[in-house]
A = this chain, B = another copy of it.
Amino acid sequence: MDTRFSAAIHALILIAGADKPLTSQQIAASVGTNPSYIRRLTGLLKQAGILASRQGVGGFRLLAEPGELSLYRIYRAVEGVEGVHVFDLHQNPNDACIVGRHIRPVLTGVFREAEAQAEYALGHTTLADCMEKMRTEIDREEKGGEQPFSAEITKTAET
């Protein structure tokens, strides 16, 4: 099971929402993994121009505006692929049969259309949308919380 995409969004919500720089150790504690896994993810996000290391203070800072950082960009950065791949073609259609000979482009076309729709949805959902959904979840589940989102992230990550 590949959960890099999911873990990367979690890490980016933390980084975008925290009011102090977070280390890979603090991020790993929240994501529920080890710091070296987080460093691999942040390395990929840095390569893609999404994150930078903070010089001197340590931790990471977001180079992209959360409202302009699409989940599709995050997906491509951490998965190292150009698109979402969902459906595999069978390997040995028989070229001696007219259907076997022409099935590949037909299936590639219809599968690609469906995958492109998923890409479109990810391309139109931003990190800011995820942060907004998280605020809604927090407001709904933890009524009366007076702490700002950012202060609580930093506080929890420190414990």
Q: Which residues of B contact A129 (CB under 8 A)?
A: 110
Q: Is the contact region of chain A dominated by helix, strand, or loop, or is it mixed?
A: helix
Check A93 for interface membership: any CB of B closer than 8 A: yes
Q: Tell me, rounded to whole Å, the shortest Cβ–Cβ distance linking A53 to chain B.
A: 21
> Can you tell how many copies of this chain the complex includes?
2
How many residues on A have C-beta within 8 angstroms of the other chain's C-beta atoms? 65
Question: Which of A1, A109, A118: most chain B CB closer than 10 A?
Answer: A118
User: Could you list 14 examples of A-B contacts with CB < 8 Å?
Assistant: A3-B89, A6-B87, A6-B111, A10-B100, A30-B97, A30-B99, A31-B90, A97-B156, A100-B156, A102-B141, A110-B125, A110-B130, A113-B125, A114-B118
